Structure 1
Amino acid sequence: MAPSICFLLLSLLFLSSSTSGTDEEGFISVIISDKGLDFAKDILIDQAVASIVQSQLPQIEKTVQVPLVGKAKVVLSDITINHIQVNSSSVNTGETGIALVVSGATADLSLNWRYSVSSWLVPIGISDSGTATVKVNDLQVGLTVNLRNQEGTLKLNLLDSGCHVRDLSIKLHGGAAWLYQVLVDAFAGNIASAVEEAISKKINEGISTLDLLLQSLPKTIPLDETAALNVSFMDNPVLSDSAIELEINGLFTGRNEVLVPQAYYRGSGLSLSASCGGSSPKMITISLHESVFKSGSMLYFTADSMQWIVDELPDQALLNTAEWRFLIPQLYKKYPNDDMNLNISVSSPPDIQVTNKDVSVNIFIDITIDVLEDGEVIPVACISVDFSASFAVEILGNNLAGWLKLRKFSTSLKWSKIGKLHMNLIQSVTSTVLKTVIIPYLNSQLLRGIPLPILNGFAIKNVCILYAPPRITVCSDVSF
């Protein structure tokens, strides 16, 4: 079973044998609806069929006594499953896990036959060979599994599986008349058993492979040189009447930090019907608590990643004291015609809150004016800026991204080495810096986004984004 179908089987199997667990809760919730389960089931079956077709079954040989002919040794070889057609399938939940059932399937096989006969009537012996086709008319396949959280990863357990051939027919190409009846009477059961064993073996191999894949899923996803996203699973998957819910930690963590519980308030659970519009939910619903973004804000602030030097502006003249001679005369008088830098740093972790229509962000920054004189950087004044912005969420690929739009700001003088500044005159310069430097820079970072819990090879589509404080909810279908 190929690794590329991992998400599909995960979608089907995100049901544990128990809904009880620990008190640990995640900040990213993934809910898979019935529609999502049906989608996963259909593609999973297609992939499973592809892995079985062209499978060769073991050679079968048997010696039989044929009336008026004698003892015949018959060998069936190159028994190949050429085609499987699934006509009906279902996925059902139960107290011990989840059952996937395929019923009424058909299969086409081909084989080579040969025989040799020796008897006192024909002392020289006779032999013949040819081909045959087999039609399996009623193939039943089923498996029952459960999935458990095992230290932040998922453990897949196969509880039961089986395959049963209820009916088959054989068409002989060439050969003696008696051979057909021999194949039907003596070999039909062996062929059916070989088909059942081959499919059962594929199921067991697939589950074992997938279990190894689940165990190897990363607990963190690196985002950049500073941060990673903690994507370890929390507690066991939860089953409801119409959906399956997974809890993922979802908080930002340092690249080299050991994963430990972090204290953020999570709030109440998520309703699938409320989040996705009631009667017609999407395949998958992903809910991100605002604490996910707050943890990122705190991490980058603590890592001193929210500061940078501005030495280029769209209006480059603003980075020379000559341009400031009317705004801050004393600056130009003390440092005539000197170049400048703006040292921008965020003074406290940005405050992030999900509202009913967007994400509200409040950021406090300090803009230190540095004069460059004779190779020396001289800080001359620091302006504190408090600005608020709205963050509009969008989906780029499989990432949750977005952009900031400035709402309002205010400025105050934090300190000055060049005397008192007229802050009402500084407002226009601050506005220019915010709109042409700070907001565009932040948007360039935010548009990189954070990855949603969708595995490689799958894409979300038909996205609907809803704001329900304290969460952002992404409702989506999935393509493969």
Structure 2
Amino acid sequence: MNKWWLLGLLALCPLTLCTNPGVTGRLTQKGLEYGRQIGMAVLQKRLQSIKIPDISGKVKVKHAGKVKYSVSGMRIVNLGLPQSSLGLVPSSGLKLSIGNAFIKIKGRWRVKYLRVIKDSGSFDLSVSGLSISAGMGVSRDGTGHPAVSSASCSAIVRSAKVKFHGGASWLYNLFSRYIDKALRKSIKKQLCPLVAKSIEGLNPRLQTLNVLAKVDKYSEIQYSLVSSPSVTKNYIDLYLKGEFYAIAHHQEPPFTAPAFSLPDQAKSMLYLGLSQYTLNTAGFVYNTLGRLSIDITDDMLPKSSPFRLNTKSFQLIIPEIEKKYPNMPMKCVVKTSKQPLITFEPNNATLQAAGTVTAYAIQPNSTLAPLFIINVVTSVSAKVYITGTNIAGSVSLNGLEISLVESYVGPFQVQVLNNVVPFILKTVVLPQVNAYLKKGFPLPTLRKMSLVNPQIQIQKNYLLIATDVRFQP
């Protein structure tokens, strides 16, 4: 019975929704306000494209009888959206409200009455009291990008006043109410479709979210949404996969993301929570690919170093090496024996790495003679920072433990290497690691988006990034 209950639960809970995200993004009301400002400029431009068809008809006017009229060549000369707001509707999406908007239009008029009398002139149309209320749905599309859609719309055009100029304008002013009604109806009919089109027009920008961002020639990081965004009364949360993959082969790591939740803050436009899981998937990928390895030779040591990587330098600590392989250069191969793991605790990031150091003598015929293999377990402090839209870092050695795995030059006390190994790690290995970490990897961002005054806090199990954003035109 329990087995069938579990199978039923799994059927109701898709894998992506039952897995904690590696990255959580939070868009606050402050961020929405910035988005509203950008969106209103786009909407205003789109509303200026309203096309008002020519209007014609007949009306009976006292003393003039039946009058044929037409208005044509109408164009918008001014449009204003002085009041607007964008609010959050919990569990639903967004609500856009526009009030007291106005449109001013110019055009031409023409009349014919008493069968033979014709007249023409220009007119001004003032549309005022225009208001729009539109609901926007927020979801996840099939490619893992956020998406918005038009959920509802209503529009009101309270007044459309026409003022005619030239010719027998007194005649037109007599039946302007007929034209007012026709123009109001024509404009209102176009408002909601244009608003819906503007909302749908946001999706191409949302699709520039780097859901699969290349890190280097070996790996990429996936930022696709694992579920639809969650809308509350104060913010929108987005749950992203946040996982590194090898470019050649996508393989899931043998561990899962820990659960974490962002603190209830709203001073910045955007908050990003980057789980330690995300960084640990990077360690898994590079360790699986065998990329966490480095060959060290003497020319890589500082020229000022009194210690050289050759058998002569080892004669005081392991005499048998110099006796067996006199005056020969050496090479050390440093590589991880398992993936490194980073841990985030409040205000502290540490990296645990375990590996081996294999020392060789380079013989005159260039063949390598193994000397010894040792295990090394290190504790490393990590610092993280933002550069552009990348997150980067650096590491420094806290301490290490070494143990002998095998010796090919007879027994010796491994403690004699307590100064040599840290020296090699600090002068060669860590500088190369830091040079790579300095490049960083991309954060989830949209095209033409930049981070403004980003701040990082280290929380338990994740990094909290608080930032404002700007979009280039």
Q: Normalization by structure 1: what TM-score? A: 0.83
What does 1:96-115 align with in structure 2 at a 5 Å threshold? 96-109=92-105, 111-115=106-110
**Alpha-carbon distance between aligned partners in 2 of 1:262 and 1:26, rounded to the nearest angstrom:** 15
Name the CA shift for 1:22/1:336 in 2 (closer, same or farther; >3 Å): closer
Q: Does 2:469 align with 1:478?
A: yes
Q: Does 2:68 align with 1:72?
A: yes
Specify the code of the residue in structure 2 equivalent to 1:103. G
Equivalent residue, structure 2, for 1:363 = 353
Deviation track 1:381-418 (CA, whole Å, cap 9, x = no partner) reads 22332221111121111222211121112333322222
Equivalent residue, structure 1, for 2:10 = none
Name the CA shift for 1:411/1:135 in 2 (closer, same or farther; >3 Å): same
The runs of at least 4 aligned residues of structure 1 exceeding 6 Å deviation read 259-262
Q: Does 2:343 align with 1:353?
A: yes
Specify the code of the residue in structure 2 equivalent to 1:367. V
Deviation track 1:174-226 (CA, whole Å, cap 9, x = no partner) reads 34322551673232233333333333232232344445665786643222222
Q: Does 2:300 align with 1:313?
A: yes
Equivalent residue, structure 2, for 1:28 = 23
Q: Normalization by structure 2: what TM-score? A: 0.84
Deviation track 1:68-103 (CA, whole Å, cap 9, x = no partner) reads 455333232142253323224242415543311111
**Alpha-carbon distance between aligned partners in 2 of 1:206 and 1:60, rounded to the nearest angstrom:** 25
- Percent identical across equivalent pairs? 21
**Alpha-carbon distance between aligned partners in 1 of 2:470 and 2:241, rounded to the nearest angstrom:** 25
Moved more, 257-266 or 88-97: 257-266
Q: Does 2:38 align with 1:43?
A: yes
Q: 2:120 aligns with which of 109, 114, 128?
A: 128
Deviation track 1:303-348 (CA, whole Å, cap 9, x = no partner) reads 2111122344242572443444434433333333433332121111
Name the CA shift for 1:92/1:193 in 2 (closer, same or farther; >3 Å): farther
Q: 1:451 aligns with which of 416, 433, 442?
A: 442
Q: 2:55 aligns with which of 53, 56, 61?
A: 61
Structure 2: tracts of 5 or more residues without a match: 1-15
Q: Does 2:234 align with 1:238?
A: no
Name the CA shift for 1:379/1:171 in 2 (closer, same or farther; >3 Å): farther
**Alpha-carbon distance between aligned partners in 1 of 2:84 and 2:226, rounded to the nearest angstrom:** 35
Name the CA shift for 1:43/1:378 in 2 (closer, same or farther; >3 Å): same
**Alpha-carbon distance between aligned partners in 2 of 1:52 and 1:99, rounded to the nearest angstrom:** 18
Specify the code of the residue in structure 1 equivalent to 2:229. P
Equivalent residue, structure 2, for 1:184 = 176
Specify the code of the residue in structure 2 equivalent to 1:416. S
3-state DSSP of counterpart to 1:49? helix
Equivalent residue, structure 2, for 1:429 = 420
Contact 1:355 1:470 in 2 (8 A): yes
Equivalent residue, structure 2, for 1:301 = 287
Contact 1:85 1:107 in 2 (8 A): no
Specify the code of the residue in structure 2 equivalent to 1:59. P
Contact 2:50 2:187 in 1 (8 A): no
Q: 2:135 aligns with which of 144, 152, 170?
A: 144
Equivalent residue, structure 2, for 1:288 = 274
Question: Number of residues paired by the alignment?
Answer: 448
Equivalent residue, structure 2, for 1:226 = 218
Name the CA shift for 1:190/1:339 in 2 (closer, same or farther; >3 Å): farther
3-state DSSP of counterpart to 2:258? coil
**Alpha-carbon distance between aligned partners in 2 of 1:204 and 1:220, rounded to the nearest angstrom:** 29
Specify the code of the residue in structure 1 equivalent to 2:221. L
Q: 1:86 aligns with which of 82, 85, 89?
A: 82
- Cα shift at 1:473: 1.2
Specify the code of the residue in structure 2 equivalent to 1:290. Q
**Alpha-carbon distance between aligned partners in 2 of 1:305 and 1:144, rounded to the nearest angstrom:** 50
Q: Does 2:246 align with 1:251?
A: no
Deviation track 1:31-83 (CA, whole Å, cap 9, x = no partner) reads 22222222222322222223333x25133121334444553332321422533
Specify the code of the residue in structure 1 equivalent to 2:31. G
Contact 1:149 1:236 in 2 (8 A): yes
3-state DSSP of counterpart to 2:425? helix
- Cα shift at 1:361: 0.5
- Cα shift at 1:162: 2.8
Moved more, 167-176 or 361-370: 167-176
Contact 2:90 2:231 in 1 (8 A): no
Name the CA shift for 1:460/1:26 in 2 (closer, same or farther; >3 Å): same
3-state DSSP of counterpart to 2:419? helix
Name the CA shift for 1:349/1:320 in 2 (closer, same or farther; >3 Å): same
**Alpha-carbon distance between aligned partners in 2 of 1:95 and 1:467, rounded to the nearest angstrom:** 30
3-state DSSP of counterpart to 2:21? coil
Equivalent residue, structure 2, for 1:204 = 196
Moved more, 88-97 or 297-306: 88-97
- Cα shift at 1:243: 2.4
3-state DSSP of counterpart to 1:272? coil
**Alpha-carbon distance between aligned partners in 2 of 1:288 and 1:95, rounded to the nearest angstrom:** 24
**Alignment RMSD, CA only?**
2.9
- Cα shift at 1:240: 2.9
What does 1:460-479 align with in structure 2 at a 5 Å threshold? 460-479=451-470
3-state DSSP of counterpart to 2:300? coil
Contact 2:456 2:464 in 1 (8 A): yes
Moved more, 69-78 or 26-35: 69-78
Q: Does 2:391 align with 1:400?
A: yes
3-state DSSP of counterpart to 1:35? helix
Name the CA shift for 1:182/1:222 in 2 (closer, same or farther; >3 Å): farther
Deviation track 1:398-456 (CA, whole Å, cap 9, x = no partner) reads 22221112111233332222234454443333222211211111112222223222212
- Cα shift at 1:463: 2.5
**Alpha-carbon distance between aligned partners in 1 of 2:134 and 2:248, rounded to the nearest angstrom:** 41
Contact 1:56 1:78 in 2 (8 A): no
- Cα shift at 1:117: 2.0
**Alpha-carbon distance between aligned partners in 1 of 2:50 and 2:235, rounded to the nearest angstrom:** 39
**Alpha-carbon distance between aligned partners in 2 of 1:463 and 1:212, rounded to the nearest angstrom:** 26
Deviation track 1:358-390 (CA, whole Å, cap 9, x = no partner) reads 211011122222333323233322233222111
**Alpha-carbon distance between aligned partners in 2 of 1:52 and 1:322, rounded to the nearest angstrom:** 82
3-state DSSP of counterpart to 1:305? coil
Contact 2:208 2:446 in 1 (8 A): no
Specify the code of the residue in structure 2 equivalent to 1:57. K
